[in-house]
């Protein structure tokens, strides 16, 4: 069996127009260690399976896993379970990585004996062109940090740099007994804080090495649905994790405030065009939010006006908060 230093996991579902560009950007990486590419086809119906097999037939580094559709988390977990490398990287199948991505992040980990390295990222348009002005997310600072030191950066400018799965290289042992929650959207919000908590050393590199494609059909940009509240549940999980670990009060407050901001943002969006399904989702989410109310008065990361709105929007009936339009 070949020994790979890096396993690149690519979860795939109905992204045929962008898949070849993504895979080629990985296979064209110049790096002085062997790596494998795990293409996890999550039950695609648009011809992605055939594209994957064509790559595997041409390049022995490519391995294809076909599975029944179960969502992004399940596809990533399948890749984690099949990976043979000392390090893992995740690349979404409609994105692309830049030259030097693997070598830069690998060198950063090896030189500093780090458990994770991350880089700056740039959003690109659906056709792959750059925005004007450029839309770049950078780490707050370059250097070597304890993962726990970086948790506060989740909530400020550049937070996406830290919280997403991609734009990073991880030592395999970081993922021991840790997987993405299957059947959930916004899966990164359930996992990112646990990963950073486990990493004694994280190297932040301010080089733009990952291009994230904004496209109309992507999960992150899709229209509201009941599962959109998974984003709130992920942040509530993060807040409770910080409380359990007895982290700094300002970090707990920031995580707590983030829960309410996301909840009220979603409720505000639903109020514009409520549907019975979305109103029911609010009602279900209110049980979770009501369980957080005891800490609301003492949160130092929220304005009084926001606290009052949070209390009101969690206690009034969902039907009153978002009245359905009558025919």
Q: Tell me the per-residue pLDDT of 32-80, one tens digit each, with 9 for 90 and over.
A: 999 999 999 999 999 999 999 999 999 999 999 999 999 999 999 999 9
Q: 294, 255 in Cβ contact below 8 A?
A: no
Could you report the per-residue pLDDT of 136-166, keeping only the tens digit for each? Answer: 999 999 999 999 999 999 998 889 999 999 9
Please tell me the predicted confidence (pLDDT) of residue 1.
Answer: 44
Nearest to 279 by CA among 310, 323, 235: 323
| CA dihedral sign, ordered 43, 232, 77, 29 | positive
- Is residue 102's pLDDT more than 90? yes
Confidence of residue 217 (pLDDT cuts 50, 70, 90): low
In the block, tokens 């490519």 appear at 62
Please tell me the predicted confidence (pLDDT) of residue 171.
Answer: 98
Please tell me the predicted confidence (pLDDT) of residue 223.
Answer: 79
- Is residue 326's pLDDT more than 80? no
User: Which superfamily, per CATH, for 6-213?
Assistant: Spore Coat Polysaccharide Biosynthesis Protein SpsA; Chain A (3.90.550.10)
Residues in the chain: 327
In the block, tokens 């969902």 appear at 318
Please tell me the predicted confidence (pLDDT) of residue 222.
Answer: 52
The bridge status of strand 202-213 relative to strand 143-145 is: antiparallel
Nearest to 108 by CA among 185, 31, 214: 31
Domain with CATH 3.90.550.10 in the chain: 6-213
In the block, tokens 């045929």 appear at 16
Q: 121, 135 in Cβ contact below 8 A?
A: no
For 108, the enclosing helix (H) or strand (E) is helix 101-112
What does residue 91 show for φ and ψ, rounded to 5 degrees? -130, 120
pTM comes to: 0.94
CA pair distance 129, 123, nearest whole angstrom: 9
Could you report the per-residue pLDDT of 235-277, keeping only the tens digit for each? Answer: 999 999 999 999 999 999 999 999 999 999 999 999 999 999 9
In the block, tokens 């595997």 appear at 56
- Is residue 220's pLDDT more than 60? no
Confidence of residue 221 (pLDDT cuts 50, 70, 90): very low
Bond before 8 cis per omega within 30 degrees: no
Q: 140, 164 in Cβ contact below 8 A?
A: no
CA pair distance 99, 137, nearest whole angstrom: 18
Nearest to 12 by CA among 57, 56, 47: 47
Give strand pairing partners of 122: 136, 211
Q: 168, 105 in Cβ contact below 8 A?
A: yes
Mean predicted confidence (pLDDT) in 175-198: 96
Average pLDDT, the chain: 95
C-alpha distances out from residue 138 to 120, 128, 155, 257, Å: 5, 20, 14, 23
Confidence of residue 215 (pLDDT cuts 50, 70, 90): confident
CA pair distance 76, 38, nearest whole angstrom: 10
C-alpha distances out from residue 118 to 145, 172, 282, 292, Å: 11, 15, 35, 33
CB atoms within 10 A of CB 43: 17
Please tell me the predicted confidence (pLDDT) of residue 150.
Answer: 97
- Is residue 183's pLDDT more than 50? yes
Write down the H helix ranges in 116-187.
Answer: 159-163
Q: What are the DSSP E strand ranges found in the chain?
A: 6-12, 35-42, 62-67, 87-90, 96-97, 116-124, 130-137, 143-145, 168-171, 202-213
Please tell me the predicted confidence (pLDDT) of residue 230.
Answer: 97
């Amino acid at each position: 069996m070949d020994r790979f230093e890096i396993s690149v996991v690519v979860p795939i579902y109905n992204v045929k127009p962008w898949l070849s560009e993504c895979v080629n950007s990985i296979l064209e990486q110049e790096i002085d260690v062997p790596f494998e590419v795990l293409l996890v086809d999550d039950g695609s119906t648009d011809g992605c399976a055939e594209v994957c097999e064509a790559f595997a037939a041409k390049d022995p580094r490519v391995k294809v896993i076909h599975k029944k559709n179960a969502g992004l988390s399940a596809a990533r977990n399948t890749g984690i379970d099949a990976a043979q490398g000392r390090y893992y990287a995740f690349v979404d199948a409609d994105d692309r990585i830049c030259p030097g991505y693997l070598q830069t992040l690998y060198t950063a980990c090896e030189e500093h004996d780090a458990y994770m390295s991350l880089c700056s990222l740039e959003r690109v348009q659906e056709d792959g062109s750059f925005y004007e002005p450029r839309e770049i997310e950078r780490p707050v600072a370059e250097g070597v940090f304890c993962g726990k030191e970086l948790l506060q950066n989740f909530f400020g400018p550049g937070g996406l740099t830290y919280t997403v799965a991609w734009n990073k290289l991880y030592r395999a042992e970081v993922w021991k007994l840790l997987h993405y929650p299957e059947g959930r959207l916004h899966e990164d919000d359930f996992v990112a804080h646990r990963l950073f908590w486990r990493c004694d050393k994280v190297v932040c590199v301010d080089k733009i090495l990952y291009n994230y494609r904004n496209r109309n059909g992507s999960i992150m940009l899709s229209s509201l649905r009941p599962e959109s509240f998974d984003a709130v549940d992920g942040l509530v999980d993060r807040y409770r994790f910080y409380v359990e670990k007895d982290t700094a009060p300002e970090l707990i407050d920031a995580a707590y405030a983030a829960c309410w901001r996301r909840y009220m943002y979603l409720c505000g969006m639903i109020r514009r065009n409520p549907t019975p399904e979305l109103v029911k989702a609010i009602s279900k989410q209110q049980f979770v939010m009501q369980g957080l109310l005891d800490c609301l008065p003492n949160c130092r990361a929220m304005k009084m006006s926001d606290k009052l709105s949070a209390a009101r929007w969690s206690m009034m009936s969902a039907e009153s908060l978002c009245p359905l339009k009558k025919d």
